[in-house]
Structure 1
Amino acid sequence: MIRLVPNHTAQIKRSETVTFTFDGTPVQGHRGETLVSALMRAGHLNLREAPNDSAPRGAFCCMGLCQECAVVVQGQVVEACRTDVSADLVVERA
Structure 2
Amino acid sequence: MSVRIEFDGESLSGRDGQSIGGVLFANGHQTWRTSQGEQRGIFCGIGICQDCVVTVNGVEGVRACQRTACDGDVVEREVRS
TM-score higher than 0.5: yes
RMSD: 0.8
How many residue pairs were aligned? 77
In structure 1, what residue type is equivalent to 2:2? Answer: T
Taking the aligned partners of 2:75 and 2:5, their CA distance within structure 1 comes to 8
The structure with the largest strand share of the pair is 2
Match of 1:12 in 2: none
Of structures 1 and 2, the one with the larger relative CO (CA 8 A, separation 6+) is 2
Match of 1:21 in 2: 6
The structure with the largest helix share of the pair is 1
The equivalent position to 1:67 in structure 2, one of 37, 50, 54, is 50
The equivalent position to 1:41 in structure 2, one of 7, 10, 26, is 26
In structure 2, stretches of 5+ residues that fail to align are: none
1:60 CA drift (Å): 0.2
Could you say what secondary structure the match of 2:28 adopts?
A: coil
4+ residue runs of structure 1 moved beyond 2 angstroms? none
Match of 1:87 in 2: 71
Could you say what secondary structure the match of 2:51 adopts?
A: coil
Identity %: 36
In structure 1, stretches of 5+ residues that fail to align are: 1-15
1:87 CA drift (Å): 0.6
TM-score by length of 2: 0.90
